[in-house]
Structure 1
Amino acid sequence: MSRTRLAWSALPAHVQGEIEDRLGSAVEHVESHEGGYSPGMAATLTTVGGERTFVKAVASSFHERSGELYRDEVRVNGVLPEGVPAPRLRWSVDDGDWVALGFDAADSSVHVPWQPDDLTAAIELFTTLAEVPAPDALGSVGGHLAGMPTWANAHAEGTDLSSWDPWVAEHLSMLAEVGADWAHAAEGTALGHGDARADNMVRTGGRLLLVDWPYATAAAPWLELLCFLPSAELEGAGSAAAIWDSHPLGQAADPDRATAVLAGLAGYFVHASVQPPPPGIPHVRAYQRAQGEVALAWLREQLGE
């Protein structure tokens, strides 16, 4: 089951008009981008004058959560430090229902399976982020993670985990204990993106950039790499554990804190994977399941299980 994004042609005339006003002329060509996990429109628009702009748009009345995230993205982009590996936000439109954002257009997307050059650039990107102090206007990652369901929620709710290896249900109390402090363990002062995956990376001018910043927070310098690795292994990068163990960020991380975060992350994916699909993005549950399998195997290795 898949998701189809909103098309440019489906946007109301007044929204198209507002966007074209920001672009400076009429849209001549639309290149839709169907990847990712949002039902909003995402397209590179080329005007009659040849100007290319990446535009995303959604109505809160169509998908309330996406509207919230787009507004958060405008706020975050307003405080990102100069030189952060992110496309420039050119403008935004918000009529109270429809929200549209215009960014510098990318040259290309990152394709999976991961290729060596792209993977090397991604790993270097996390090293760069680890050295950027988070702006004071961004909150701590601990507050964000504390609200995300994980093992303790599965235990308290009696979540049906029968689709997973029986080991999970048999060790649920232990997993909840190991991951209990994951929100606090993830805290720090470095700039964190909060949703780094291949589908949120693009290339521009030979440089790898992260897109979609609504979840940005202050976090531990190693958090982004750890959270990225389950998706990376799933998409052909090689062993998450091996990359982590060989990387300076992984080597510098406190082992107990990193294990707590990995446990919490695995629990989030496992819990999410058995929930009903969210409106508009039914394919996300299968992706969460796949990441959960990688994270859980990595966690069991860390625990000697």
Structure 2
Amino acid sequence: MAGEFGCWARLDADPPEHLDPWVTARLDRLHELSRRTVDRLRGDAVAHTDVRADNLLVQPDGRVRVIDWPWASRGAPWFDAASLLIDVRAVGEVDLAAQLPRIEALGATREDVLAVVAGLGGFLLDAARRPPVPGLPTLRAFQRSRGEAAVALLRELWPD
């Protein structure tokens, strides 16, 4: 995730035209937060690294199956739970007060959660401005929407 969590530097060097002023004022801090957490992402748990609604199948009995594993790796047991907050925020409100203790119970600190949201948010905003991918006409809009959801979470969590 070191490359993905380094995208705030690219956004700082070449900011998109409509970058949120709240983000612009914190680019250096977002980059630093994202980078210093990379080592905390190490672990021996199986990490999906791309958990989002379209990679989850809810069975009639309520159990959830996670599908589409091309980015699976070993990592921190809390990474997927922290990253899922972005997708949940993108489709509606998320009650962070209820979710943070659950993620912390997996071994994350609040800074870890903030850093995952920051790291992935920078990656998504940077990726959204790339040229369209043939055969995936909605990918860039999807990435932008998830990047904006990450910014919304950061605004709520940021310890200013």
Would the TM-score normalized by the shorter structure come out above 0.5?
A: yes
Show the counterpart of 2:134: 279
TM superposition shift of 1:205:
6.5
Work out which of the residue numbers 118, 131, 151 in structure 1 matches 2:8: 151
Structure 1 unmatched runs, 5+: 1-144
Q: Does 1:186 align with 2:41?
A: yes
Identity %: 34
Q: Which has the higher helix share?
A: 2
Show the counterpart of 1:254: 109
Q: Is the 8 A contact 1:178 1:263 kept in 2?
A: yes
Q: Does 1:197 align with 2:79?
A: no
Which contiguous aligned blocks of 4+ residues in structure 1 show a shift greater than 4 angstroms? none
Show the counterpart of 1:27: none
Change (3 A) 1:240 1:162: farther
Q: TM-score, normalised by structure 2?
A: 0.84
Q: 1:289 & 1:240 partners in 2: Cα distance?
A: 22
After TM superposition, list the pairs within 5 Å mapping 1:153-302 onto structure 2.
Answer: 153-155=10-12, 158-204=13-59, 206=61, 207-236=63-92, 238-239=93-94, 241-245=96-100, 247-251=101-105, 252-302=107-157
TM superposition shift of 1:225:
0.7
TM superposition shift of 1:256:
2.7
Over aligned residues, Cα RMSD in angstroms?
Answer: 2.1
**For each residue in 1:42-63, what CA deviation from the matched residue of structure 2 results, as whole angstroms up to 9, or x when unmatched?**
xxxxxxxxxxxxxxxxxxxxxx
Structure 2: which amino acid aligns with 1:288? Q
**For each residue in 1:246-273, what CA deviation from the matched residue of structure 2 results, as whole angstroms up to 9, or x when unmatched?**
x422354123333222221111112112
Q: 1:179 & 1:249 partners in 2: Cα distance?
A: 18
Change (3 A) 1:160 1:248: closer
Higher relative contact order (CA 8 A, sep 6+): 2
Q: TM-score, normalised by structure 1?
A: 0.47
Q: How many residues align?
A: 157
Partner SS for 2:80 = helix
Structure 2 unmatched runs, 5+: none
TM superposition shift of 1:173:
1.7
Q: Is the 8 A contact 1:221 1:249 kept in 2?
A: no
Change (3 A) 1:270 1:243: farther
TM superposition shift of 1:172:
1.5
Partner SS for 2:111 = helix
